[in-house]
Structure 1
């Protein structure tokens, strides 16, 4: 019979969608003792009011505190203008900047460069980067005839000259002609 009862309850539970007949909240037994003791504590407290406040206490508390502190709201505060202070330092800072500029330029005059300090590679890179332009008359004034050796023109053979002309870029050649 026990088996029949179990089958009947399982059938009813399937039709109703319930697993058991009774439901309890989750963690009910874990919190039961705490709930029970807190209920007993609340019931044991007295119901009479222990603390009382005077009538209109919360309406007048702010004024009472202010009168005890003796703070007057009409006290005038002194305002210091920052604009006047800043304008006092503007001429001073301008004079300091001028003195600093003059001093730095005066003490850095011992660094003078001469033409002897310039190297051949610096001059070459200057002309290669397009910073200088010269023509034949300018070169002729600076170069003396002694700078050229007599065998300079005879040392160029025809094969080297043909290779130079064959390998030259046409755009470069046109630029040299102009």
Structure 2
């Protein structure tokens, strides 16, 4: 219904302020005069300003005043504290507090892990043993039953240990 009445509208809906067209010419002319006057900003630079600017800045930056530095710690105090710390460190690192290690105090699992982690082979272990321990007679004297070997293999070895790559 509203669309049917659109052809009957006579007014645009826009309004102009009173006396707008009477003052329009004066406003336009004053705007043109203002633009002509604003082309000259009124600021003037000294002669050769940009040629000497770099030297002036470098002179101001490089001329630093020496300031007195007050240390937080005096050298004597620092040396005293360092010597006390070194004495305490030496005290804890000396062998007074250490127990003597024996084969009985070593944990078997620790030794086994060390040998595995360091990739120590049987020849290197044999080099550490005296020759009397490696004689063939020492190995012949032991009589090991088959059931004992089978039980040891089942209890202590994994399949990965038995399979040779």
**Bucket of the pairwise TM-score, normalised by the shorter protein:** 0.3 to 0.5
Q: Who wins on radius of gyration, i.e. which is larger?
A: 1
TM-score by length of 2: 0.39
TM-score by length of 1: 0.36
Structure with bigger RCO (C-alpha 8 Å, 6+ apart): 2
Query: Which has a greater percent of helix?
Result: 1
